[in-house]
Amino acid sequence: MDSLFGLSHNATLLVWTLVAIVFLVVLIAKYKWNPFVTLLISALMLGLLAGMDPQEVIKSVTGGLGGTLGTIAIVIGLGTMLGKMMAESGGAEKIATTLVDRFGEKRVHWAMMIVGFIVGIPVFFEVGVILLIPIVFTVARKTGMPLLKIGIPILAGLSTVHGLVPPHPAPMIAIDAFGADLGKTILYSLLIGLPTAIIAGPLFGKFIGKRIDVTPPADLAEQFAANENRQLPGFGITLFTILLPVILMLIGSIATIADPDGVNGFTHFAEFIGHEIIALLISAVFAFFSLGFARGFSKEDVSRFANECLAPTASIILIIGGGGAFKQVLINSGVGTAIGEMATAANVNIILFAWLVAALIRVATGSATVAMTTAAGIVTPVLAMNPGTNVELVVLATGAGSLVLSHVNDAGFWMVKEFFNMSVVQTLKSWTAMETILSVVGLIFILLLSTVV
């Protein structure tokens, strides 16, 4: 279907995309359809409306679902086991109590942003959410604060690092493509990322927490609830257990940066243990001992904890997979390419151009990493024609653009929605707004910094 009312092919694709997204939101928000089923129907509908061969649509749906869950399903399973061990042992309670004592209840949401920022440096966003959600629930219960006032700062810290701060894989893609200096990019990313995370995290979290009242899902809240009649584990061993996957991934990242060609044999080992699946597997097994057997639990107890915690994640995993299916149809139908071509035709400042290209592809495909990768390919030849441009700031502008307007085609959107037990509309008002604030404020700081460096 090449045209609609005389529109160009690219414009037609955008119209059908808008129709599919409106259809998806209305069915879930107004008619309360199951999100997984609705995502699959919307993906199929978009593919057919965009003129894809029916068999290709099915391949895109199954490939997108499988590709998304290939890693995330394992991450969620292992991360939930780690979270369950933290909850059953009292580790989450210990970290929450320590943070509240050190920062005070009025400032604990600032501590949450710092925790998200630090934990997010070597891990993907989804991994960070899984690791930190027990602490979010526990701190909210202990302090009586609105759940989003605690949760939004952690999400802001994780997301800022995901899009802006090397050695996270997403910004590293642009650094390699543009030939940017790694050290300068890290310095600029911290100068821009920290104030951006503060505005989108603690400040926006305090604002939105008063306006959207949500409670954790009952099954997860019960799973991560604390047993008041127990001796809590030490803060040191608990912190080490939750940071172990972060440490392992950081080792892998540092080894890759120090030895990009893999000449040293240790690099291969470090990359292996630094992969998110291996790091979480090692950490989950370590938690069975450090927070399980060492706390007096029997092997039957530890096995039961590991089995019990998986049931509440089943619907979350399916919905995330549905988001991946929808995203893949968007990519394979040519929507991402159409967005890129339209953005390339615009004659704007290179920093603004990089942000705009990444932002449009992010909105179209739902993936920050896809947006960063695709935008890097589009921006690189434009950058080559403008040799005086600050390349490191273009990297950050691309990263900031890749965070904007997370919505129904983003697996992260559904993960946040389900873990925080929000409606689609509530998720748009909180999570989507936070991501957009991160992106726009980040761009403003980048443009300001470009006037002095």
- Residue pLDDT, tens place only, 291-333: 899 888 899 989 988 888 777 677 767 876 887 787 788 778 8
Average pLDDT of span 61-81: 81
pLDDT for the residue numbered 249: 76
Q: Which SS3 state, helix, strand or coil, does residue 183 take? A: helix
> Which amino acid, 392?
E
Integer Cα distance of 298 and 305 in angstroms: 11
Which comes out higher in pLDDT, residue 409 or 66?
66
Q: How confident is the model at residue 5 (pLDDT cuts 50, 70, 90)?
A: low
Radius of gyration of the chain (CA): 22
Six-digit token pair at 17? 């995309």
Residue 163 has pLDDT above 80, yes or no: yes
Q: Among 269-273, 368-372, 395-399, where is mean pLDDT lowest?
A: 368-372
Average pLDDT of span 138-153: 85
Q: What percent of the chain has pLDDT over 90?
A: 17
Residue 420 and residue 432 in contact, taking contact as beta carbons nearer than 8 Å: no
Instruction: Classify each residue of 73-112 as buried b or exposed e, where b means 16 or more C-beta atoms within 10 Å of its C-beta.
Output: bebbbbbbbbbbbbbbbbbbbbbbbebbeeeeeeebbbbb
pLDDT for the residue numbered 207: 92
Q: Which SS3 state, helix, strand or coil, does residue 53 take? A: coil
How far is CA 15 from each of CA 28, 128, 335, 360, 423, rounded to the nearest angstrom? 20, 35, 10, 14, 25
Residue 136 and residue 150 in contact, taking contact as beta carbons nearer than 8 Å: yes
Q: What percent of the chain has pLDDT over 70?
A: 86
pLDDT for the residue numbered 57: 93
Residue 44 has pLDDT above 90, yes or no: yes
Residue with tokens 């090449």: 2
Q: How confident is the model at residue 441 (pLDDT cuts 50, 70, 90)?
A: very high
Which comes out higher in pLDDT, residue 213 or 327?
213
Element (H, E) at 279: helix 276-290
Most confident stretch, 148-152, 309-313, 360-364: 148-152
Largest CA distance in the chain: 72
Residue with tokens 């070597």: 122
Residue 443 has pLDDT above 90, yes or no: yes
Residue 134 and residue 86 in contact, taking contact as beta carbons nearer than 8 Å: yes
